[in-house]
Structure 1
């Protein structure tokens, strides 16, 4: 398999399963992800489903790791003030020695309206707001003097210059979205694409659209990292048992069963060989950075899953 393939891990950050448990166990998980040879560590973001705050976790993880990429999959910028978030991201990037990657999203209809309301931000024009926010971050990451910003939605005057990131260009920013409009925006504006389509065929066709948009914008095709968000659960040989475990995870995470969620998202479950074979189909379709959310709800079972995923990791590299 291609040596350029990167495999990352997302630990369970949902708050409820950690109740009564020492949260410093999350830092042990971060160290284990690095020690076992994985390439990246990821955190997700939500107000609807309370979890350990993503940027707080990555800040702590930066202090206990040395090598792995630290990423968000995906951050919802709308939940935070954009100027302050630019400084937080630059700070994490500096603290980690330039290891930060930021995948962003605009939320999901039927779910995220509540998050927008709690953040005092209107739901309409959310995609333009997201693109403006990323453009503002990039401007501030390179600003050495006070500046102004005038986008489609965001308009700010006299913004103080803040801390700059570790590198000149700042952290790469990926888009976690998978519509035709999103794929076009990835090609024009973003450094990576992080979808979770249910089939490798859908991934392949979507990536072709991203590449066409990238070339149409006068950018090199390799300017965009083709990534994949996938939920992974390694079980025994019992296919029915794997299905039941996925259903338990989906129901507790989304409120609906696996029969519904698998029509939207990518899952890989079963033996290590079965999981490796499933992930390989997406690699063959063009994915180069796999962000693996381990399908457990809390700390119990994570370490065992991580060690089994290591065998998959080796098979895919």
Structure 2
């Protein structure tokens, strides 16, 4: 069982006096507290420290944690250059990189970003899958790549990642098409369904698709992205989570709860909710802390760290699924 934390790289999660260089200390504190991974997200909609820059800064100052993206948006970057950047981070971290990717979705977090990147919105999922296949070809030393949308007849020699085959690549998303694509060609699944039962159903579909493709389901890491706030006063936790939802997403908590995994309340309530996803099959939790300044992020990190042994114990007592 792995439990990681999402670093607050966006300015919406910083207070007026916060120094973004404190994110390095935050990552080191999380590693010392027992978290097994550090993740960053990616966007051009809101100002933030660029995802791969943040991971490159963390690589030499951490020792054991995985360093991941949740999720990287490949269409924001040139595909061959991104393969080089990812290989470089994997090398600098000694093979600790995990790359979760997504294609964006309709609304302010999707189509406008494609316009900024001068990439067409249609066939975005084909473009994503081909980009991942291109990265793997570059890392393998292939001299060319030919897809429906991406065509590189003459690939130059490139930096090889630390691990043969490159870092594991996970897919975010829970549509039927995303589940099938995860099973066929990705190394992990990182959705955020509000209901653990939906997670269990999705994981079964992923594993069925893997079996149909002749892949072992154990090759696919079942992960979960979830937003957490530990608060002894449940109504106060709801108010804080609502403020977070409005600040980060521009929507009230009741709307965000319909589309994302969220939990707030006393420690025992948060633990119970997390273990429901563990029972549904999740084996790598990526936790986003619902706080709007770095001091509060540190406080939430400490409160969540106190729950790590209990979550690990819950996973240890579950029959593998």
Give CA-to-partner distance per residue, 1:215-245, whole Å, 9 cap, x none. Answer: 0000001010000000011111x22111111
In the other structure, the counterpart of 2:114 is: 116
Counterpart Cα distance in 1 of 2:192 and 2:92: 30
What is the CA distance between 1:97 and its match in structure 2? 0.2
Give CA-to-partner distance per residue, 1:44-75, whole Å, 9 cap, x none. Answer: 00001221111000000111100000000000
What is the TM-score with the length of structure 1 in the denominator? Answer: 0.96
Q: Is the 8 A contact 1:39 1:68 kept in 2?
A: yes
Structure 2, unmatched stretches of 5+, are 313-321
Structure 1, unmatched stretches of 5+, are none
Counterpart Cα distance in 1 of 2:16 and 2:43: 18
What is the CA distance between 1:11 and its match in structure 2? 1.8
Partner residue of 1:275 out of 270, 274, 290: 270
Q: Is the 8 A contact 2:145 2:151 kept in 1?
A: yes
What is the CA distance between 1:162 and its match in structure 2? 0.6
| Pairing 1:12–2:12 present | no
| Pairing 1:81–2:40 present | no
Within a 5 Å distance, the mapping from 1:147-186 to structure 2 comes to 147-186=143-182
**Stretch of structure 1 that moved more, 225-234 or 9-18:** 9-18
Give CA-to-partner distance per residue, 1:91-140, whole Å, 9 cap, x none. Answer: 00000000000000000101211111111100000000000000000000
Counterpart Cα distance in 2 of 1:9 and 1:187: 25
Partner residue of 2:31 out of 31, 34, 49: 34
**Stretch of structure 1 that moved more, 148-157 or 243-252:** 148-157
Q: Is the 8 A contact 1:148 1:159 kept in 2?
A: yes
In the other structure, the counterpart of 2:132 is: 134
Counterpart Cα distance in 2 of 1:58 and 1:50: 17
In the other structure, the counterpart of 2:315 is: none
In the other structure, the counterpart of 2:319 is: none
**Stretch of structure 1 that moved more, 296-305 or 46-55:** 296-305
Counterpart Cα distance in 1 of 2:15 and 2:128: 31
Counterpart Cα distance in 2 of 1:118 and 1:157: 27
Q: Is the 8 A contact 2:234 2:266 kept in 1?
A: no
Counterpart Cα distance in 1 of 2:33 and 2:182: 32
DSSP-derived class of the 2:174 partner: coil
Counterpart Cα distance in 2 of 1:119 and 1:285: 37
In the other structure, the counterpart of 2:219 is: 223
In the other structure, the counterpart of 1:66 is: 63
Counterpart Cα distance in 1 of 2:16 and 2:131: 34
Q: Is the 8 A contact 2:15 2:292 kept in 1?
A: no
Give CA-to-partner distance per residue, 1:188-236, whole Å, 9 cap, x none. Answer: 0100000000001100111110010010000001010000000011111
In the other structure, the counterpart of 1:45 is: 42
Q: Aligned pairs, how many?
A: 310
